[in-house]
Amino acid sequence: MPVPLAVFTLLFFLHIPASSAVTDTILPGQALAVNNKLISKDGRYALGFFKTNSSKSSHDTTNWYLGIWFNTVPKFTSAWVANRDKPIKNTTSLELTISQDGNLVILNQCIKSVVWSTQANTTTNSTITMLLSSGNLILRDSSNSSEVLWQSFDHPTDTLFPGAKLGWDKVTGLNRRLVSWKSLIDPATGAYCSELDPSGADQFLLKPLNSSTPYWSTGVWNGRYFPSIPEMASSNMASNITIFVDNDREKYMISNITDNNMITHHVLDVSGQSKTFVWSEGSLDWTMVYAQPKSQCDVYAACGPFTICTDNMVPHCKCMEGFTITAPEDWELEDRTGGCSRNTPLDCVSNKSITHTTDKFYLVPCVKLPQNAPKVEAAASSSECAQVCLNSCSCTAYFFSDGGCSILHNELLNIRQLMCSTGTNSTEETIYLRLSAKEFNKLRNNRKEIVIGVATAAGISALGLFALILLVMIWRNRKKSLARILDGVQGCNGIIAFRYIDLQRATNKFKHKLGSGSFGSVFKGLIDDSIAIAVKRLDGACQGDKQFRAEVSSIGAIQHINLVKLVGFCCEDPKKLLVYEYMSNCYLDVHLFRSNSTVLNWAARYQIALGVAKGLSYLHDSCRDCIIHCDIKPENILLDASFLPKIADFGMAKLLGRDYSRVLTTMRGTAGYLAPEWIGGVAITPKVDVYSYGMVLLEIISGRRNSCSPCSSCGNLGAYFPVHAAHKLLEGEVGSLVDQMLHGDVNLEEAELACKVACWCIQGDEFDRPTMGEVVQILEGQVKIGMPPIPRLLEAMAGSSDQMDPNSLV
């Protein structure tokens, strides 16, 4: 699990002195020694001295700091550091006291020098220091409690406290911003900062500390939330209230936590990502609930120079061929700003008197290149581009595409590894990395040795594999009569293009119907009389062959344990069919609503609910493009032999850009599962799937259709189960909502949690609904959730008639 950069995961990196005094105030004439600490009145925060040391370095050094940390959390987590860039080395002769001029100072008693001071413009020495329950360390006049002379909230380090301002003081010019730590154990000024846009736009930027170019922004404040953080509008998730203020004196953002029992830590991580953590008493650890940018590789220079960053891999960073890590000790502490260094200097660097360099170019395929690489228009070919690079000692790489030559000079930054694809719309490039001839030949020889070794091993194994190869050839020849590998769609991951006549034969002329849905009927089939498949015959598909094949290709690239796997397709105009893996336990609705089917126990239901949530979260957040399913219902959830849920028909959804731009859709949904905003004809977002999921979750809990009457005494709540369930949840009667077929064999804590999630998901305002990623975290117990309000829109509709008919919502 990711951790805040200020959390010291190795205990020997950190020493916190024992406390012999408990107070929240330092009075004139008093001093806070190394073995003391201030504790806020509510006990949440503490201030004192701590030290860090690294046994991994060649010189075992100890640095002392004055800081504020979470006092009620057993895992030491720093939130503010006074002397971050002025550590005190190898001494315990420290005290925090109020000086003669009224400032709070760190005094080194050994040399009688001031290490750090608040540097407040005071005119009196009758000042006191107090650590407030908010975590704010203040210096004020003892005779005037309302006059704050200095406060730590005006000088944040890497952490934003609840109630603290992030932004500008227009009068004094003070810029309250977050700056990351240098490494996990070094609180010194790091490489990244989070601050209000200096151009004047009402947004916050993440950017390198010494650069004006951001790598992520919140988007401009719209009065309720920042567009890049729509979760801010969901009051149930973070239990916070965020406001943005712009007046004659100040311009800032401030967030307040409404749940005092929740301990949160919002930090600009050493990785350059803005992260929010919630303390979990169950696991006794921090649980990350938010991170932006979501991909580590989106952070500028995340891996340092001459590295390649790869998403969805740990570690993200690796050196380019011919390079080694510059500072391995720093990398282990997540400080990768040093990047990698050449194993062998370039020829023109080591021998400046030469007239012809011997440097070579090493191919690095399938990468995303940095933006704004300078173009050399005169180079009309790859060889000319290479020569332009060789003519300049500062050139370290080049790439050539679409008739253009781009030259990269000095350190290479932000090179990102992509999945190789041969599609016409692929974004990857091949970079030609400049290496010394010695290093190039070494790499080439290593590759040759690998090839020779593989060839030798293959030769030795050839005789033993000969019989197996013959069997495989026979099998492939037999399979060719049934299908051919798709050749019209690139990157299709082995999807099979079936002939219609073969699918007709496999399904016995479409006799065994498994079910029907919004897009057509599904039939069971057999390949080679042994391999079961499910064939969906699409009704009303009007795409052209090229468009249909392209959509099939994108669907086939999506792989997840909770999504039905696409095996192949048929496209013989006008006939269009999709072939899926066969699920032996059919659809979820069969087990929930049919009396003659297997009754799912509670454990199976909870795992089904969690699995469906994970599948939707993957579609929304982890695919190359955000995919909205648009028709989540029990009839589109299949169960395998182990009752593992798999979402079907997800490929029918519209593809959106990752920025979650709203789009209008012409797709059909299902009555009773449609979100209000979709019914109203407005643009949809992934939150329509969240609404449908909430409806399905209620049916999983109750074992009945939402439109069925929950009981005969529901009064004015009518027969609409979701509204009835919300009221029973508030009344603490969750047990009455659970399927009676379970005969009370239910985990009531899980049932209550599932009901809460469902009722949050079906809120009328999409901004009140959680994301599917948050749903997964809640169901897994990683994040706590409050009691949801009654879905007022549904209640109003239910109250308008004695019998709620979900079809009236369409």
Q: Can you spell out the DSSP letters for 373-424?
A: PPB-TT--SHHHHHHHHHT-TTEEEEEEETTEEEEEESS---EEE------T
Q: Average of pLDDT values for 576-590?
A: 87
Please list the residues that pair with 580 across neighbouring strands.
Answer: 534, 566
Mean pLDDT lowest among 45-59, 75-89, 453-467: 453-467
CATH number at residue 146: 2.90.10.10
pLDDT over threshold 70, residue 712? no
CATH number at residue 756: 1.10.510.10
The CA distance from 636 to 517, in Å, is 8
Q: Which position has the token pair 């850009």?
A: 657
Residue 236 confidence (pLDDT) = 44
Mean pLDDT lowest among 150-154, 469-473, 505-509, 746-750: 469-473
Residue 199 confidence (pLDDT) = 92
Residue 335 near residue 270 (C-beta atoms within 8 A):
yes
Domain shared by 560 and 645, yes or no = no
The CA distance from 755 to 237, in Å, is 15
On whether residue 557 sits in a domain, the answer given is yes
The CA distance from 69 to 152, in Å, is 13
The CA distance from 424 to 663, in Å, is 25
Amino acid present at 441: N
- Kindly state the tokens that stand for 290: 């938010």
Is there a catalytic annotation at residue 640?
no
- Least Cα distance to 505 among 477, 475, 525 occurs for 525
Tell me the pLDDT tens digit for each residue of 405-463: 888 888 899 998 887 765 555 567 889 999 999 998 888 776 655 555 555 555 555 55
The CA distance from 587 to 575, in Å, is 25
Give the distance, in angstroms, between the CA of residue 157 and the centroid of all CA atoms in the same chain: 24
Residue 737 confidence (pLDDT) = 93
On whether residue 51 sits in a domain, the answer given is yes
- Least Cα distance to 335 among 185, 473, 486, 506 occurs for 185
The CA distance from 801 to 810, in Å, is 16
The CA distance from 433 to 272, in Å, is 27
Domain shared by 259 and 326, yes or no = no
Residue 281 confidence (pLDDT) = 80
Domain shared by 290 and 407, yes or no = no
CB atoms closer than 10 angstroms to residue 644: 16
Please list the residues that pair with 403 across neighbouring strands.
Answer: none
Percent of residues, the chain, with pLDDT higher than 90: 39
Residue 71 near residue 44 (C-beta atoms within 8 A):
yes
> 253, 268, 302: which is the final residue of a domain?
302
Q: Which position has the token pair 């919300």?
A: 726
Phi and psi at residue 620, to the nearest 5°: -75, -40
The CA distance from 481 to 464, in Å, is 29
- In the three-class reduction of DSSP (H, G, I as helix; E, B as strand; rest coil), residue 568 is classed as strand
pLDDT over threshold 60, residue 67? yes
Domain shared by 172 and 143, yes or no = no
> pLDDT tier at 669 (50, 70, 90 boundaries)?
low
The CA distance from 227 to 494, in Å, is 39
On whether residue 483 sits in a domain, the answer given is no
Give the distance, in angstroms, between the CA of residue 767 and the centroid of all CA atoms in the same chain: 19
- Kindly state the tokens that stand for 808: 């009236």
> pLDDT tier at 134 (50, 70, 90 boundaries)?
very high
Annotated catalytic residue: which of 158, 347, 631, 649? 631
Of 259 and 68, the structure prediction assigns the larger pLDDT to 68
Q: Average of pLDDT values for 719-743?
A: 89
Domain shared by 503 and 595, yes or no = no
pLDDT over threshold 70, residue 734? yes
DSSP string, 39-66: E-TTSSEEEEEEEEE-TTSSS--EEEEE
CATH number at residue 552: 3.30.200.20
Q: What is the maximal distance between C-alpha atoms in the chain?
A: 97
The CA distance from 159 to 287, in Å, is 16
How far does the chain reach from its first CA to its final CA, in angstroms? 43
Residue 217 near residue 300 (C-beta atoms within 8 A):
no
Domain shared by 49 and 151, yes or no = yes
Domain shared by 743 and 794, yes or no = yes
- Least Cα distance to 517 among 549, 545, 541, 539 occurs for 539
On whether residue 598 sits in a domain, the answer given is yes
On whether residue 465 sits in a domain, the answer given is no
Phi and psi at residue 375, to the nearest 5°: -95, 145
- Kindly state the tokens that stand for 536: 């969906």
Give all strands of the β-sheet with 204-208 in edge-to-edge order. 178-183, 186-196, 204-208, 216-217
Phi and psi at residue 295, to the nearest 5°: -95, 130
Residue 327 confidence (pLDDT) = 92
Domain shared by 44 and 129, yes or no = yes
CB atoms closer than 10 angstroms to residue 502: 17
Q: Average of pLDDT values for 528-540?
A: 79
Helix (H) or strand (E) holding 679: helix 676-679
Based on the structure, what is the number of domains in the chain? 5
On whether residue 272 sits in a domain, the answer given is yes
Domain shared by 502 and 539, yes or no = yes
> 120, 136, 155: which is the final residue of a domain?
155
> 257, 284, 302: which is the final residue of a domain?
302
Q: Average of pLDDT values for 235-259?
A: 80
Average pLDDT over the chain, rounded to whole?
Answer: 80
Tell me the pLDDT tens digit for each residue of 458-504: 555 555 566 566 655 544 554 444 444 333 333 344 678 888 888 98
Domain shared by 330 and 205, yes or no = no
With vertex at residue 109, the alpha carbon angle to CA 106 and CA 113, rounded to the nearest 5 degrees, is: 60
- Least Cα distance to 386 among 374, 377, 398 occurs for 398
Q: Average of pLDDT values for 722-747?
A: 91
Give the pTM. 0.57
Phi and psi at residue 242, to the nearest 5°: -110, 135
On whether residue 487 sits in a domain, the answer given is no
Domain that holds residue 57: 1-155
Tell me the pLDDT tens digit for each residue of 767-784: 899 999 999 999 999 888
The CA distance from 17 to 36, in Å, is 7
Domain shared by 805 and 697, yes or no = yes
Domain shared by 161 and 151, yes or no = no
- In the three-class reduction of DSSP (H, G, I as helix; E, B as strand; rest coil), residue 506 is classed as helix
97 DSSP assignment: E
On whether residue 361 sits in a domain, the answer given is yes
Residue 659 confidence (pLDDT) = 34
